Amino acid sequence: MTAVGGLVTVLTLTALAILLAFAAPPRYRSVASGGASMGIGIAGVFTGIAGITSVPQAVLVVPIAIPGGLGIDPLLLSPTPLGGVFCVVVGAVGAIAALYGIGYAHGPAASRTGWSAFAVFLLGMLIVASAGDVVSFLLGWETMAIASTVLLLADHAERPAVRTAAVWYAVMTHLSFLSLATGFALVASKAHSTTFTQISAAQITGPTGIAAFLLLLIGFATKAGLVPLHVWLPRAHPEAPSHVSAVMSAAMVKLGVYGIILLVGSWLPQVARPFAILVLALGVLSGAYGILQASITSDLKRLLAYSTTENVGLAVTAVGVGMLLSNAGQDAVATIALVAALLLVVSHAAFKTVLFLGAGTILHATGERDLDRLGGLIRSHPVTTWTFGIAAMGAAALPVTSGFAAEWTLLQALVHGDGRANTTLALALPVTLGLMALTIGLGLLTFVKAFGMAFLARPRSEAAATPAPEFTSKPGSAAMGVAQAIGALSVLALGLAVGPLATAFSSVLGYSGIITSELGGLRLVTIGVLDPYALGLVAVGLAVPVALLVLVLRRRVPRRETDLAWGCGGVRTSPRMEYTATSYAEPLVRVFGEALRPTRSLEVSHHAEDHVLEHRVAFAQEVSDIVEDRWYAPAAVWLRVAGDQARRVQNGSIHRYLAFSFAALVLVLVVVTLP
């Protein structure tokens, strides 16, 4: 399939999905429209592959007729190799999430609006990833923003928190749009064209370039959820239906990373150079702050949302490292860092999809997303347990998942960057490595906590003790399990296929220093090799004697079931004595108390007859986002005050409005007559 054919298919299928959402009887709506949405995703994958491989690029030109022309070029939809990578990510995530949605979507998410918005959401993202000019990019960007807001609002009637989340999201995403539109306007006016190739060729510099760079960076960083512009993420992801959260987190925020890569690599590379430290700082801080918040929260979906900030932060860190190194003339290592960024993007897309889908299944089964009230789901939900476990391994970057390969590549780029080149590098590289290591360490703790608290141990609440079954007789119910399994398999497959994957990415970036090793692993020429197959073979070789020994011993000494776990002297321990997610993270809250500023309250009430005996102990802890409290809350107050003041202008008098119109007209005339 050519890229053009793919895009036409995507458009057709979107129309079909909307049609089916409205025409199909409610009972079959999810199957019909969700199936069409899945088709959009698959067509997106093929479009992306065609974009990566096809030379010269196929271009879908949509001539637009605006009276007067306004100097806007026709819309170009042509996935570049880089855009193709993101097309594949968006398409694959969209297809898996749509499949899951067939079984999962219920209530408003499965309504006509819900499924139409889902299809339009996928279309918008695919347009962004394949846009070849400013106008179609912004068109796709806004389509994606509106459709996702509609999807986020699905459960607004049930939970008031959804409305707050949607307001935060709508405001942030439109600030992002505004910032992008302004930035693009500056760039396009300088380049006298709206196509990306012309913009790159114009080599814009100077104050306009710097202003445009900063505006575009803010716009993309907001969408990518980088600190301090991440505040919408931990609100929106938990409140959206889980298959939508999966697409938002695994695919949509990646387009912010796509934008940043294009911005620093292709549109404004000269302007971007001095800002390498800024990009790096954005990435590193997002990584550390995101994972710190994720490690202490007990809301599963909020945890996953903050972990998205972390992973996007790592990808942007890789971009920043690449910029710094290429400033120092170390282009080979710089490209390795960029390949690491793409690997991080792809691996995060895979495992985060599965994690959000798993969270959806847990929510569906127990009505809980609070880890403090979950537990023991390994017995009733084996498929979810294993798929979530595999994805959590990817998120914790354990070998041999692709998450590990990606971080290994980035670490190698850091270590092989030559810090002797200049002082900036000599300091930036080790500081980056230190913070990245902390991020990796806390990530490990976070996902041990998430998996252990949800699936292991004994249920911590009534709802978790009696979960709904994993599979029901509802049509399409198996789709949930199948989608999770496909996702988990792709996490494993990406880990095993990391060699060809990295080779493909390096050729996307026009670099030949990364090749596939003999057994199919990843070889960075002159640096090192990471071969999941060889490593796996050695591990199997070592496991065989152990396994034989176990088999012999199993026959000789069978295992015995007992009913008591150790309770410090034989007391039958109650599940209430278990460690919860909050207590699991308590040491961290203490260690990082200065940075997190938790608010805690402890109330002890005593027995009436004896004041020494304690009757009840109530403990409450809340850790809010300090960025939100310190920066956004005052800004919101200030805006409100400004709004109240501005209201005075409007007093309803027709004379005043006529005066305003006259003043505006005069102003316009003055501006127009100025030379």
Partner 1 sequence: MIATLLVVLQVVVATAITPLLIGVMRQVRARLEGRIGSGVLQPYRDVRKLLAKEPLRAEGSSIILVAAPLVLLVSSLLVVALVPLVTTANIPAVPNDLFVVVSILLIGTVALALLGLDAGTAFGGMGSSRHMMIAALVEPTVLMSVYALSIPVGSSTLSKIVVARGADVTRVVTPAGLLAVVALVVVVLAETGRLPVDNPSTHLELTMIHESMILESAGRDLAWLEVGSWLRLTALLGLVVNLALPWGLADSMQPLALLVAVVTLGVKLLVAGGVIAAAEVFMAKVRLFKVPELLAGSFVLAFLAVTASYLAG
Q: Where in 507-526 is the site for partner 1 (CB under 8 A)?
A: 517-519, 521
Least CB distance to partner 1 at residue 323 (A): 20
C-beta of 146 vs 355, nearer to partner 1: 355
> For partner 1, which stretch binds (CB under 8 A), given 112-120, 393-401, 462-470, 600-608?
393-401
Measure the CA–CA gap between 124 and 140, rounded to whole angstroms. Answer: 4
| Contact by Cβ (8 Å): 596, 585 | no
| Contact by Cβ (8 Å): 261, 334 | no
Residues 92-111 that bind partner 1 (CB under 8 A): none
Measure the CA–CA gap between 209 and 189, rounded to whole angstroms. Answer: 11
Residues 547-576 that bind partner 1 (CB under 8 A): 550, 553, 557-568, 573, 575
> For partner 1, which stretch binds (CB under 8 A), given 88-96, 137-145, 254-262, 438-446?
438-446
Measure the CA–CA gap between 400 and 492, rounded to whole angstroms. Answer: 8
Name beta bridge partners: 300. none
Residues 571-610 that bind partner 1 (CB under 8 A): 573, 575, 577-579, 583-588, 590-591
Measure the CA–CA gap between 249 and 521, rounded to whole angstroms. Answer: 28
Sign of CA dihedral 282, 284, 290, 292: negative
Measure the CA–CA gap between 525 and 57, rounded to whole angstroms. Answer: 29
C-beta of 505 vs 584, nearer to partner 1: 584
Taking alpha carbons only, the member of 318, 287, 291 closest to residue 304 is: 291
Taking alpha carbons only, the member of 255, 245, 171, 172 closest to residue 220 is: 255
| Cα distances (angstroms) measured from residue 562 to each of 412, 505, 559, 566, 575 | 49, 53, 10, 11, 17
C-beta of 175 vs 378, nearer to partner 1: 378
Residues 241-300 that bind partner 1 (CB under 8 A): 295
C-beta of 396 vs 479, nearer to partner 1: 396
* Residue from 181, 438, 468, 493 binding partner 1 (CB under 8 A): 438
Measure the CA–CA gap between 100 and 92, rounded to whole angstroms. Answer: 12
Least CB distance to partner 1 at residue 616 (A): 20
Least CB distance to partner 1 at residue 310 (A): 13
Q: Provide the mask over 339-378, with x wherever binding to partner 1 is found by CB under 8 A and - wherever it is not.
A: ------------------------------------xx-x
Q: For residue 269, what are its two tokens?
A: 């590379």
> For partner 1, which stretch binds (CB under 8 A), given 114-122, 279-287, 445-453, 609-617?
445-453
> For partner 1, which stretch binds (CB under 8 A), given 33-41, 60-68, 212-220, 435-443?
435-443
Measure the CA–CA gap between 218 and 535, rounded to whole angstroms. Answer: 42
* Residue from 38, 99, 119, 442 binding partner 1 (CB under 8 A): 442
C-beta of 154 vs 442, nearer to partner 1: 442
* Residue from 37, 326, 402, 412 binding partner 1 (CB under 8 A): 412
C-beta of 10 vs 383, nearer to partner 1: 383
> For partner 1, which stretch binds (CB under 8 A), given 207-215, 332-340, 394-402, 506-514?
394-402
Least CB distance to partner 1 at residue 230 (A): 21
> For partner 1, which stretch binds (CB under 8 A), given 84-92, 366-374, 439-447, 495-503?
439-447
Taking alpha carbons only, the member of 428, 130, 184 closest to residue 284 is: 428
Residues with Cβ within 8 Å of residue 494, at least 6 apart in sequence: 346, 347, 350, 401, 402, 501
Helix (H) or strand (E) holding 600: strand 599-606
C-beta of 62 vs 427, nearer to partner 1: 427
Q: How big is the CA angle at 261 (ends 416 and 217), to the nearest 5 degrees?
A: 115
The reply on whether position 453 binds partner 1 by CB under 8 A is yes
C-beta of 95 vs 589, nearer to partner 1: 589
| Contact by Cβ (8 Å): 243, 361 | no
